[in-house]
Amino acid sequence: MDWLYLYMPVAGVTIFWPGLVLIGFSVGVLGGFFGMGGAWMVTPGLNILGFPMAFAIGTDMAHIAGKSMISTMRHSKFGNVDYKLGLIMVLGTFIGIEVGAQLVMYLERLGKVESIVRWVYVGFLALIGWMIFYDYYKARTKKKMGLGEGEKGTEGITWYKTLHRIKIQPVVYFKTAGFSCSMWLPISVSFMTGLLAGFLGIGGGLFRMPALVYLIGCPTHIAVGTDLFEVMISGLYGAFTYSMKGRIELVGVFVMLTGAAIGAQIGTVATKYAKGYGIRLAFGTCVVACMVSIILKEFKFTAISAALILCTIGLMSAYITVVMLKGAAEELREKKARQRAAAQAA
Amino acid sequence: MNGAGEKGRWGRTGSLLAKLGGWACFMWVVLPDWVWAAGEKATNLVVVADTRRLTGIMKYFANLYNTNTLLFAVWAVVLTALWGAILGFLMDFLMARTGLDLKSRKIVEH
């Protein structure tokens, strides 16, 4: 069974390569569906496979860049990527990340940075989790009462409407997302999410996707596509900077990317058959799982924390695959029925 | 008048966007360390890849990792992007044969 193991020339370890493909595949499915990089899911998986931690983060970062590129290409064809919005947000993200990084360095000088960072992370994840489930509850209640059917259907949280009223020049129209707002709104929101990402040392997709929906007012599908575009840019940066520091294993990246290419197609195409609120709720579940895993890690239950993350990845990617397969089968059935009807009419 | 005003406003927005684009390009080229600078602080890692049991392209990249970090980093980004693009196009080609409509979707929130 030697052929199942692959030698990683830089890290100097032999890895069970189907495990790498499987991790890539699962994170590809989740990333394509939710519009995030998913670094928090990959690192424990790589660690379990025996990947040295020193190489896990850089390898993960490069794989995320490639995977996001594949998902962005597919989302772009669906018309889910607002490039103008994405490029404007890149600016805020960069500045935010730098400020966040400086904040961490300041806290490092004071000591106890790790614990503070972890609890801030938990706090924000709890907030996002609450926001998503509260939004769903509010939208359902409104719908039952027959209130608030807007152009996007019944919505729960509509903070973006208030923010859109602030018309500080220049006001920009985002054609794909279908709204206009002050350019300063996406810049400041991305600055805040970038600041959090820099402070916490993560990619930021976990924060940016809900921020795009609730604060900027993107439809869920466009939030997913646009966020992936940003993850792609920051992932390529990450790949460069981690390579400069000697923390990347290119063979591992390519193997994971091969699995991710298939997973990304499934995740991305599944968004076509999922409703916006379905995506939001599944995303909220992942956020809660991530939060619980961090709390477990903080209390030194590292193995349970890793198991929770892996179970979440497994179950969620299975759910998304089912959504995609069911939707695709139905579409093909309808297409055949239409063709049959047309043939009969002719 | 309205048209001219609209044009002027979009012109100003366009020029601002161009400036922002310029800044973004500048950051892309000059300041890669900004991103991922925080949290898991990646200090330079001194690992020497063992090239004795490697041959061909693997040996080339392992040697590059040991001797020229900058070129290795450039290769890492280029190859990752290239492999991503190749796989993306390949999957696109395969998915197009499934008969699914992959160019349109309805945005339904509920």
**Interchain pair B100, A269: CB under 8 A:** yes
- A329 or A42, which is more confident? A329
Would you state the pLDDT for residue B21?
65
Rg (CA), chain B: 23
Secondary structure letter of residue A2 according to DSSP: G
B35 pLDDT higher than 50: no
Low-confidence winner among A17-21, A116-120, A229-233, B40-44 (lowest mean pLDDT): B40-44
For residue A182, how many C-alpha atoms fall within 13 Å in the half-sphere facing its CB?
Answer: 16
Give the model's confidence band at B32: pLDDT under 50 very low, under 70 low, under 90 confident, else very high: very low
Amino acid identity at A343: A
A326-338: pLDDT as tens digits: 999 999 999 999 9
A264-304: pLDDT as tens digits: 999 999 988 988 888 889 989 988 988 898 888 888 888 88
**Interchain pair A153, B109: CB under 8 A:** yes
A163 pLDDT higher than 70: yes
- B20 or B49, which is more confident? B49
Are the CB atoms for A41 and A309 separated by under 8 Å? yes
CA distance A4 to A2: 5
Would you state the pLDDT for residue A253?
92
Would you state the pLDDT for residue B44?
55
pLDDT cut 70: percent of chain B above it: 55
Would you state the pLDDT for residue B38?
41
Report residue A153 as tokens.
Answer: 């259907």
Are the CB atoms for A35 and A231 separated by under 8 Å? yes
Distance from CA of A346 to the nearest CA of B (A): 22
- A110 or B81, which is more confident? B81
Name the residue among A57, A220, A241 with its Cβ closest to that of B109: A220
Average pLDDT over chain A reads: 86
Q: Which residue of B has its CA nearest to A169?
A: B13
Would you state the pLDDT for residue B10?
55
Residues 51-70 of chain B with CB under 8 A from chain A are 51, 53-54, 58, 61-62, 65, 69-70
Would you state the pLDDT for residue B6?
53
- Number of A to B CB contacts under 8 A, please give it: 233
CA dihedral sign, ordered A48, A269, A235, B71: positive
Q: What element of type H or E holds B61?
A: helix B56-67
Are the CB atoms for A132 and A284 separated by under 8 Å? yes
CB-based burial of residue A55 (10 Å sphere; 0-12 exposed, 13-18 middle, 19+ buried)?
buried
**Interchain pair A272, B49: CB under 8 A:** no
Residue A15 forms beta bridges with which residues? A6
Give the model's confidence band at A2: pLDDT under 50 very low, under 70 low, under 90 confident, else very high: confident
Amino acid identity at B13: T
- A302 or A325, which is more confident? A325
Report residue B81 as tokens.
Answer: 């992007």
B80 pLDDT higher than 80: yes
Give the model's confidence band at A257: pLDDT under 50 very low, under 70 low, under 90 confident, else very high: very high
- A296 or B38, which is more confident? A296
Distance from CA of B52 to the nearest CA of A (A): 10
**Most confident range, picked from A37-51, A251-265, B6-20, B89-103:** A251-265
Average pLDDT value for residue range A179-183: 89
Give the model's confidence band at A185: pLDDT under 50 very low, under 70 low, under 90 confident, else very high: very high
Interface test with B, best of A245, A251, A277, A339 (most B CBs within 10 A): A245
pLDDT cut 70: percent of chain A above it: 97
Average pLDDT over chain B reads: 73
B39 pLDDT higher than 50: no
Would you state the pLDDT for residue A201?
66
**Reduced to 3 states, what is the DSSP secondary structure of residue A80?**
coil
Amino acid identity at B9: R
Would you state the pLDDT for residue B8?
59
Interface test with A, best of B80, B98, B101 (most A CBs within 10 A): B80
Average pLDDT value for residue range A65-71: 90
- B37 or A116, which is more confident? A116
Give the model's confidence band at A316: pLDDT under 50 very low, under 70 low, under 90 confident, else very high: very high
Distance from CA of A177 to the nearest CA of B (A): 11
A345 pLDDT higher than 80: yes
Interface test with B, best of A213, A236, A297 (most B CBs within 10 A): A236
Would you state the pLDDT for residue A162?
87
- A267 or A40, which is more confident? A267
A47-57: pLDDT as tens digits: 788 887 778 87
Low-confidence winner among A70-79, A142-151, A186-195, A207-216 (lowest mean pLDDT): A142-151
Average pLDDT value for residue range A256-269: 92
Name the residue among A84, A94, A257 with its Cβ closest to that of B35: A94
Average pLDDT value for residue range B57-63: 89
Query: How many residues in chain A?
Result: 346
Give the model's confidence band at A240: pLDDT under 50 very low, under 70 low, under 90 confident, else very high: confident
Hunting for tokens 């189907």 — which residue is that? A18
Name the residue among B24, B53, B109 with its Cβ closest to that of A90: B24
